[in-house]
């Protein structure tokens, strides 16, 4: 069990044991939803996970939940930490696979032995031996369905277990009656002594294939979990190092990260210089340089040359990686609109099938009389076996799981299945400018020196020395641009520098070697010089450098637009999407960026409420709007939009509001998310169509619709094989998304 809080509610996650179909998942979901203090209960059948939202004041304990689940034939795994949870779940799944394999083997051995015996001995053999084999397989391989169904029936709940229990039990009773009542042995159809064995063999085969396939659909969440180190090297107060479990690390502990090893927690570098591979967090292939004061993140990998001493700050689910895992898990657990429809069908599916089976039996007896009771019973059993709620229950969640995992692999975090479905409907994309369309920091795009001073290198060093003292973003960008390898040599030659005088909104001035210097706007510097300022060809923020009666240099700075963003906007427009730019920056700067991106609709100098109002107006016109932003000022608009998309480098509040987070500063991820959304919707529609059409066609055939033409009834074994295939087909179709 993993717990975390978001403002008021409490969120908990439990692996569930013993679920065999979507009906089982529905029963668990409804049972837990009735417990006091539960705000919302969701069960992900494909992942076998129960996701709860509890009231903050809820006194409901883990054991209370487990007791309720056990009463209807299932069980929960309870653990305090994610690592322990994963270990327990993997162990339980391994035991389940072993038990399933044993049951499957017994069923097939029993079936093959029965068929071989009947083939060798024919009618001269002892049918009682075949019946004994069938009874043995029923009690051993079918025990999981027997016990589960009986517990569920006590609480008036139904699932696929109920259908299998009734069908196999009816087959066994049918065989006994046919064998032990000689007067009925030759009334019509052949004796099906191995019917229950055949049903269990095919059902368990389908379950085994389904388990393997659905396991692949959850590969992304397992891969993310496996990124988290299990141990860390903690530095003791006496300087000794001890390897401990990550769960034992506490805030403030000093940890040694050896070359080539994974960073165990989020923290700060205390000592050492190294490069760290942060691709799993940032998507950047180039390792990031780390030194004292730098931030490091759990799951990233230290370079091969040097170790780092770090101070632990965030552990476990509180780390960046923990947040990613939580987001992916919640997205997989969320229910898309199509899944809600499937849930309504599943809720009544099993009772309806039971009713159809009874009607089928009675209809046969009514038409043909008691002399064809065996055909009536076989048809009723076939109806119970062939009906498949699993395919319907797996249709959406498996596709969602694969799509969410695929998106996560490509640095796209989807917070809900609804966002996955809705993204494909978006026809208007509204972008913030700074930090979204642009890189979010000013960069020097043009540099011109006008002075013929022979010591121009020293002037450059002087400008650098003054600008690096300023905290203004433009000054910092200019200082970074001016820095070169010779600064270490030139700065000492400048001697003592005076403190510059700040003039907000205009620039700075200082006196150096009896001359007055100014750095700032063209109007501010023009006050020192009679000649007009040299004009700069490029648009952007202009910084001039001047001294008494002399223009020294000028720089044009602007926020750069990555080439990838230019390509992304072009792709969106090719897809017929309307693209809008909304910015709080000057109208002229917003128009400059819009022109470079070929965006025709642009608004500048907007307050957050103006952006909100603009999106509301678009929605009133019937537009489906996605808002893409990175700052706190974008959160209102993102909340109002149909889909909010946040940049990974933006504010935490923006990422909390958004349904989708892009972990890289690359708007091509928006296009990629749309592709994944569109393909996943197609897969979901195909799955739902198959699940629906399968049951619509197969149940009437099992009931005997084709008997007047074929003069035979559908054997329960064939029905079981068809049911098994229907679920596997749905899962395998969902797995096609992995190749997208």
Q: Which domains does the chain have, with CATH numbers?
A: 8-77 (3.30.70.100), 229-319 (2.70.150.10), 412-437+559-671 (3.40.50.1000), 441-557 (3.40.1110.10)
Side-chain half-sphere exposure of 110, counting CA atoms within 13 A: 30
Average pLDDT over residues 68-97: 74
Q: What is the pLDDT of residue 121?
A: 63
Confidence (pLDDT) at 558: 80
In this predicted structure, what is the pLDDT of residue 80?
58
Lowest mean pLDDT among 388-397, 519-528, 607-616: 388-397
Kindly tell me the burial class for residue 514, based on how many C-beta atoms sit within 10 Å of its own C-beta (0-12, 13-18, 19 or more): exposed
**pLDDT tens digit string along 177-229?**
777 765 554 443 344 567 788 888 887 886 776 666 555 555 555 666 677 78
Q: What average pLDDT does the segment 418-424 reach?
A: 84
What pLDDT score does 672 carry?
Answer: 94
Residue 309 structure tokens? 């001493």
Lowest mean per-residue pLDDT among 150-164, 189-203, 430-444, 567-581: 189-203
Confidence of residue 86 (pLDDT cuts 50, 70, 90): low
pLDDT, mean of residues 708-737: 82
- Give yes or no for residue 350 having a pLDDT over 90: no
pLDDT of residue 370: 62
661-715 pLDDT, tens digit per residue, is 888 888 999 999 999 999 998 998 898 888 888 888 988 998 888 888 888 788 7
Q: Are strands 550-559 and 442-449 parallel, antiparallel or unpaired?
A: antiparallel
* Confidence category of residue 328, pLDDT binned at 50, 70, 90: low
What is the residue-averaged pLDDT of the chain?
Answer: 81
Question: Which sequence positions are flagged as catalytic?
Answer: 432
Cβ count near 503 (within 10 Å): 13
Residue 652 is predicted with a pLDDT of 66
Q: Which residues pair with 530 in a beta bridge?
A: none
Contacts of 255 (CB under 8 A, 6+ apart): 232, 233, 234, 235, 249, 264, 265, 267, 309, 310, 311, 312
What are the distances in angstroms from CA 713 to CA 189, 198, 296, 705?
9, 16, 67, 9
pLDDT attached to residue 218: 54
Question: Hey, which of 90-99, 283-292, 472-481, 519-528 has the most confident mean pLDDT?
Answer: 519-528
Lowest average pLDDT, out of 275-289, 311-325, 379-393, 711-725, goes to 275-289
Output the six-digit token pair for 619: 């929605």
Is the pLDDT at 517 greater than 70? The verdict is yes
């Amino acid at each position: 069990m993993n717990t975390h809080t978001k403002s008021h509610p409490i969120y908990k996650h439990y692996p569930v044991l013993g679920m065999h179909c979507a009906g089982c998942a529905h029963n668990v979901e409804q049972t837990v939803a009735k417990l006091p203090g539960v705000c919302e209960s969701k069960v992900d059948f494909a992942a076998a996970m129960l996701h709860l939202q509890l009231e903050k004041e809820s006194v409901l304990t883990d054991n209370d939940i487990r007791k309720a689940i056990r009463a209807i034939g299932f069980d929960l795994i309870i653990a305090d930490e994610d690592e322990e949870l994963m270990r327990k779940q993997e162990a339980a799944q391994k035991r389940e696979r072993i038990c399933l394999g044993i049951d499957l083997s017994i069923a097939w051995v029993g079936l093959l032995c029965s068929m071989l015996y009947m083939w060798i001995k024919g009618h001269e053999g002892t049918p009682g031996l075949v019946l004994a084999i069938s009874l043995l397989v029923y009690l051993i391989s079918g025990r999981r369905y027997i016990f589960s169904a009986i517990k569920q029936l006590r609480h008036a709940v139904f699932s696929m277990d109920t259908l299998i229990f009734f069908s196999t039990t009816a087959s066994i009773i049918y065989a006994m009656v046919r064998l032990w009542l000689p007067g009925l042995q030759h009334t019509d159809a052949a004796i099906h002594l191995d019917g229950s064995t055949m049903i269990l063999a095919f059902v368990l085969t389908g379950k085994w294939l389904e388990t393997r396939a659905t396991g692949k659909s959850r590969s992304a969440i397992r891969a993310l979990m496996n990124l988290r180190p299990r141990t860390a090297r903690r530095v003791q107060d006496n300087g000794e190092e001890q390897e401990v479990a990550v769960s034992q690390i506490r805030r403030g502990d000093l940890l040694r990260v050896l070359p080539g090893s994974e960073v165990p927690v989020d923290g700060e570098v205390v000592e050492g210089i190294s490069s760290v591979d942060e691709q799993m967090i940032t998507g950047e292939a180039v390792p990031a340089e780390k030194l004292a004061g730098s931030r490091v993140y759990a799951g990233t990998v230290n370079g091969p040359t040097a170790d780092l001493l770090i101070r632990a700050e965030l552990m476990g689910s509180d780390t960046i990686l923990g947040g990613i895992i939580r987001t992916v898990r919640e997205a997989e657990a969320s229910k898309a609109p199509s899944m809600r429809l499937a849930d309504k069908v599943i809720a009544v599916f099993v009772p309806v099938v039971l009713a159809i089976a009874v009607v089928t039996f009675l209809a046969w007896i009514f038409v043909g009389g008691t002399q064809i009771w065996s055909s009536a019973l076989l048809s009723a059993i076939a109806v119970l076996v062939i009906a498949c709620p699993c395919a319907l229950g797996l249709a959406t969640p498996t596709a969602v799981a694969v799509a969410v995992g695929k998106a996560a692999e490509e640095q796209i975090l989807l917070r809900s299945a609804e966002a996955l479905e809705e993204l494909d409907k978006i026809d208007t994309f509204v972008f913030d400018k700074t930090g979204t369309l642009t890189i979010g920091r000013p960069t020097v795009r043009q540099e011109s020196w006008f002075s013929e001073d022979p010591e121009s290198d020293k002037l450059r060093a002087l400008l650098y020395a003054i600008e690096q003292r300023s905290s203004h973003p433009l000054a910092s960008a200019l200082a970074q641009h001016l820095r070169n390898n010779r600064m270490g040599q030139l700065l000492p030659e400048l001697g003592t520098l005076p403190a510059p005088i700040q003039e907000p909104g205009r620039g700075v001035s200082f006196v150096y070697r009896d001359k007055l210097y100014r750095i700032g706007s063209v109007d501010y510097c023009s006050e020192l010089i009679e000649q007009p300022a040299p004009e700069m060809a490029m648009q952007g923020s202009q910084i001039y450098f001047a001294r008494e009666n002399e223009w020294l240099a000028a720089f044009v700075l602007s926020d750069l637009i990555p080439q990838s963003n230019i390509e992304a906007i072009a792709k969106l427009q090719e897809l017929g999407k309307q693209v809008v730019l909304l910015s709080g920056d000057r109208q002229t700067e917003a128009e400059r960026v819009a022109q470079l991106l070929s965006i025709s609709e642009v608004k500048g100098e907007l307050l957050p409420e103006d952006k909100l109002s603009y999106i509301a107006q678009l929605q009133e016109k019937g537009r489906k709007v996605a808002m893409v932003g990175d700052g706190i000022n974008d959160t209102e608009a993102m909340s109002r939009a149909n889909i909010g998309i946040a940049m990974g480098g933006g504010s935490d509040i923006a990422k909390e509001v958004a349904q989708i987070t892009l972990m890289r500063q690359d708007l091509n991820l928006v296009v990629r998310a749309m592709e994944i959304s569109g393909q996943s919707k197609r897969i979901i529609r195909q799955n739902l169509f198959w699940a629906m059409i399968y049951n619509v066609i197969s149940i009437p055939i099992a009931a005997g619709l084709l008997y007047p033409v074929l003069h035979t009834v559908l054997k329960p074994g064939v029905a079981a094989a068809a049911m098994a295939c229907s679920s596997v087909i749905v899962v395998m179709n969902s797995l096609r998304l992995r190749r997208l």
